């Protein structure tokens, strides 16, 4: 009898071990997904510049590239040849600035031309490892660059995190892109992920002669989607050659020069800070 009492007391007094994923992410204040309904709309450009801009404002930022088949974040930061090291608490993300660290499957590939030919379970295991075994430390923001669509990766991220603090949905003005982005907005509704807002990318071209914005794609589909889903449009970003070329060169476009693109992108950064401050 006394043995049974002691066993019962030991069970009551024993501390239930916290899941590793929960304990590993405990130091992260805000987790933000950047998503899109289809590829080619500039989602990774928004993710990279948002992470870099927040870091330049003194925030501690992690950037997780969760696109297993098309990781572009290492190229945009010029770190495709870097390899993560292993520390006492797990895999160390690559430090790209004082306040910014990055993790991507692209940092683990020996040959950048090699495709990642994985089925769903392997991709899910990799994403879980990025969240559970990467030593993110203490962060103000973890920006998660999602692959396009509403499939395995976005669903797994939401389910693994349990709570996502916000999502930014990126689109372009064409109706074909808006058809897909409405599905992304519906996805966030279904999974109860709060949407910070939409970003309309490639909304026009800045004339090099008069500095006026020329509309390339017509229509008001973005405004209609925003109204239908009660979601604000954070910014309309024009096509800016310097932004594209800087990403190709491994130098994310976060300089201090004043440009229309930079001024409009700052609206996104301001909205994120205002929401979480």
What sections of 36-87 are H helices per DSSP? 43-56, 73-76
Q: Give the Cβ contact number of residue 110 at 10 Å.
A: 6
| Residue of 154, 156, 138, 136 whose CA lies nearest to 146 | 154
Q: Can you tell me the distance from the alpha carbon of 198 to that of 109, in angstroms, rounded to the nearest whole number?
A: 32
Q: Can you tell me the distance from the alpha carbon of 114 to that of 144, in angstroms, rounded to the nearest whole number?
A: 23
- pLDDT of 7-55, one tens digit each? 555 544 445 567 889 999 999 999 999 999 888 899 999 999 999 999 9
Q: Could you tell me the two tokens for 162?
A: 């349990």
pTM of the model: 0.89
What is the maximum span of the chain, computed from C-alpha positions, in angstroms?
Answer: 91
Q: Could you tell me the two tokens for 205?
A: 């071209």
Alpha carbon 172 to chain centroid distance? Answer: 18
Q: What is the pLDDT of residue 214?
A: 74
Q: What is the pLDDT of residue 181?
A: 84
Q: What is the pLDDT of residue 239?
A: 86
Residues of the chain where predicted confidence (pLDDT) is lower than 50: 11-14
């Amino acid at each position: 009898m006394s043995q049974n009492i002691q066993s019962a007391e030991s069970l009551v007094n024993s501390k239930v071990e916290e899941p590793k994923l929960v304990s590993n992410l405990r130091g992260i204040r805000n987790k933000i997904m950047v998503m899109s309904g289809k590829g080619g709309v500039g989602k990774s450009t928004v993710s990279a510049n948002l992470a870099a801009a927040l870091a330049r404002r003194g925030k501690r930022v992690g950037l997780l590239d969760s696109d297993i088949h098309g990781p572009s974040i290492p190229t945009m930061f010029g770190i495709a040849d870097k390899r993560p090291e292993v520390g006492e608490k797990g895999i160390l993300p690559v430090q790209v600035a004082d306040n910014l660290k990055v993790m991507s499957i692209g940092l683990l590939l020996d040959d950048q031309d090699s495709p990642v030919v994985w089925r769903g379970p392997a991709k899910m295991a990799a994403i879980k490892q990025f969240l559970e075994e990467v030593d993110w430390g203490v962060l103000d923001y973890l920006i998660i660059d999602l692959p396009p669509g509403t499939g395995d990766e976005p669903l797994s991220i939401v389910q693994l995190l349990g709570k996502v603090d916000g999502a930014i949905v990126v689109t372009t003005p064409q109706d074909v892109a808006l058809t897909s982005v409405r599905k992304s907005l519906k996805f966030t509704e279904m999974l109860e992920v709060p949407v910070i807002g939409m970003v309309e990318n490639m909304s026009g071209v800045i004339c090099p002669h008069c500095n006026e914005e020329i509309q390339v794609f017509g229509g008001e589909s973005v405004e209609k989607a925003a109204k239908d889903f009660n979601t604000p449009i954070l910014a309309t970003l024009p096509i800016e050659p310097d932004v594209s070329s800087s990403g190709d060169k491994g130098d994310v476009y976060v300089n201090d020069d004043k440009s229309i693109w930079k001024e409009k992108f700052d609206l996104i950064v301001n909205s994120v800070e205002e929401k979480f401050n």
